[in-house]
């Protein structure tokens, strides 16, 4: 216990105050330019994911670097367009039937169809027109928002491709751009090692995750088709997409498949679907994950789930997509600082 006559003084140096002020200003600046930061982060992710393929084309096939990058991006765009061409028509055909197959409770169905019936054109009065005209205006606004969002999305996608292309072109000197403010060779080397580490971990995680989603999606689609389960495509897409949630995702993806099998083909087929998803999960955990994710950044499954949930809460879908990559970057920066601060070997 301190006596009444004793005084406690806390001294804060000017440099500490400047650091705190700098952090506050930096955080506010990042908040104001968050869309640009998000675009840069996605560009880094694309660059890290495609870099090994670019190096393989240059070293093994002796492609000039610019040609290797152009060929690689052309293949990526072609694969994306091909996937959309194969999936979207079938998905548009199956998805409405899939939603209607999961029967709504009677009161919700009555509400939905009653709302639709309210737009009948028989016996319209002036008061009815007064109600409908504002709704038409709202519809036009909705169409405008959809078109605007589409153009914005396409522009952002093209920007990400262009930025990641430039990053890959100048990858050997990218660390010099990060530490442009110093000529200290030690700091320059640290920046190079840090970018190499981020590229290796982030690229490994992205490639492994995409491969895992593709493999599980294909296995699920083939299995459900062999079992003659309706709406195999949307169910398989859900299974692939939910692979981003380790352990929890496959369980969630199994639920709608079991419900569809039960409602359309009966309890016996629902039991077969349960057994099928259990087999897929065992096959994934014991064979696919150890092979596909061997170059992963080794993010704990529980950590991944928490990060994605936090990302959804803070930034919606974009936050969920960026949550694990941001964690990998922060972890790499902290590891680099810790090793250099305590003089630990790399």
Residue pLDDT, tens place only, 16-75: 788 888 889 988 888 888 889 899 999 999 999 999 999 999 999 889 999 999 999 999
Instruction: Quote the domain boundaries for residue 150.
Output: 16-104+136-169
Burial class (CB in 10 A: 0-12, 13-18, 19+), 206: buried
- pLDDT of the residue at 113: 41
Q: Are residues 162 and 243 in the same domain?
A: no
Q: Are residues 196 and 260 in the same domain?
A: yes
Q: If phi over 0 gives left and psi between -120 and 50 gives alpha, with beta otherwise, what is residue 7?
A: beta
pTM: 0.77
Q: Are residues 34 and 77 in the same domain?
A: yes
Q: Inform me whether the pLDDT recorded for 161 exceeds 50.
A: yes
User: pLDDT tens digits for 103-133?
Assistant: 544 544 444 344 434 444 444 444 454 555 5
- pLDDT of the residue at 132: 52
- pLDDT of the residue at 102: 60
- pLDDT of the residue at 164: 92
Q: Are residues 255 and 280 in the same domain?
A: yes
Q: Are residues 204 and 140 in the same domain?
A: no
How sure is the predictor about 151, in pLDDT bands with cuts at 50, 70 and 90? confident
Q: Are residues 191 and 319 in the same domain?
A: yes
Q: Are residues 66 and 202 in the same domain?
A: no
Task: Judge whether 121 lies within some domain.
Answer: no
How sure is the predictor about 191, in pLDDT bands with cuts at 50, 70 and 90? confident
The DSSP secondary structure of 307-336, one letter per residue, reads HHHHHHHHHHHHHHHHHHHHHHHHHHHHHH
- pLDDT of the residue at 117: 44
Q: Inform me whether the pLDDT recorded for 316 exceeds 60.
A: yes
Maximum average pLDDT range among 10-14, 113-117, 205-209: 205-209
Task: Judge whether 311 lies within some domain.
Answer: yes
Q: Are residues 339 and 294 in the same domain?
A: yes
- pLDDT of the residue at 163: 92
Task: Judge whether 112 lies within some domain.
Answer: no
**Alpha carbon distance 256, 95 (integer Å):** 13
Task: Judge whether 6 lies within some domain.
Answer: no
Task: Judge whether 116 lies within some domain.
Answer: no
Q: Inform me whether the pLDDT recorded for 262 exceeds 50.
A: yes
Q: Inform me whether the pLDDT recorded for 79 exceeds 80.
A: yes
Q: Are residues 50 and 150 in the same domain?
A: yes
Q: Inform me whether the pLDDT recorded for 89 exceeds 80.
A: yes
Q: Are residues 228 and 299 in the same domain?
A: yes
Q: Are residues 207 and 62 in the same domain?
A: no
- pLDDT of the residue at 90: 80
Identify whether the C-beta of residue 93 lies closer than 8 Å to the C-beta of residue 232.
no
Q: Inform me whether the pLDDT recorded for 85 exceeds 70.
A: yes
Q: Inform me whether the pLDDT recorded for 215 exceeds 60.
A: yes
Q: Inform me whether the pLDDT recorded for 257 exceeds 70.
A: yes
Q: What percent of the chain has pLDDT over 90?
A: 36
Q: What percent of the chain has pLDDT over 70?
A: 79
Burial 35-69 (b: 16+ CB within 10 A, else e): eeebbbbbbbbbbbbbbebbeebeeeeebeeeebb
Identify whether the C-beta of residue 234 lies closer than 8 Å to the C-beta of residue 95.
yes
Q: Inform me whether the pLDDT recorded for 254 exceeds 70.
A: yes
How sure is the predictor about 223, in pLDDT bands with cuts at 50, 70 and 90? very high
Q: Are residues 249 and 313 in the same domain?
A: yes
Task: Judge whether 8 lies within some domain.
Answer: no
Task: Judge whether 10 lies within some domain.
Answer: no
Going by C-beta distance under 8 Å and a sequence separation of 6 or more, which residues neighbour residue 213?
240, 241, 243, 244
* Number of separate domains in the chain: 2
């Amino acid at each position: 216990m301190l006596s009444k006559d004793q005084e406690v003084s806390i001294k804060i140096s000017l440099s500490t105050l400047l650091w705190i002020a700098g952090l506050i200003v930096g955080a506010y600046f990042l908040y104001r330019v968050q869309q640009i930061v998000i675009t840069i982060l996605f560009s880094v992710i694309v660059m890290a994911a495609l870099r090994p393929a670019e190096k393989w084309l240059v070293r093994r096939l002796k492609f000039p670097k610019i040609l290797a990058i152009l060929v690689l991006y052309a293949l990526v765009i072609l694969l994306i367009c091909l996937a959309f061409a194969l999936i979207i028509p079938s998905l548009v055909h199956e998805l409405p039937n899939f939603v209607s197959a999961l029967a709504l409770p009677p009161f919700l169905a009555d509400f939905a169809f009653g709302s639709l019936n309210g737009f009948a054109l028989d016996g319209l009065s002036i008061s009815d027109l007064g109600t409908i005209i504002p709704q038409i205006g709202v519809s036009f606004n909705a169409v405008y928002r959809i078109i605007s969002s589409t153009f914005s999305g396409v522009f952002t996608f093209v920007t990400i491709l262009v930025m990641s292309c430039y990053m890959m072109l100048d990858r050997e000197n990218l660390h010099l751009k990060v530490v442009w403010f110093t000529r200290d060779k030690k700091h320059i080397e640290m920046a190079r090692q840090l970018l190499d580490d981020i590229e290796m971990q982030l690229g490994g995680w992205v490639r492994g995750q995409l491969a895992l989603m593709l493999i599980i999606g294909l296995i699920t689609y083939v299995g459900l088709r062999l079992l003659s389960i309706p709406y195999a495509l949307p169910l398989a897409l859900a299974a692939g997409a939910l692979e981003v949630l380790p352990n929890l995702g496959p369980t969630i993806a199994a639920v709608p498949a079991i419900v569809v099998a039960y409602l359309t083909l009966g309890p016996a087929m629902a039991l077969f679907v349960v057994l099928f998803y259990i087999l897929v999960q065992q096959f994934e955990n014991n064979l696919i994950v150890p092979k596909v994710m061997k170059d992963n950044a080794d993010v704990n499954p529980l950590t991944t789930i928490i990060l994605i949930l936090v990302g959804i809460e803070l930034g919606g879908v974009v936050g969920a997509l960026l949550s694990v990559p941001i964690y990998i970057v922060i972890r790499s920066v902290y590891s680099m600082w810790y090793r250099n601060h305590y003089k630990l070997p790399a």
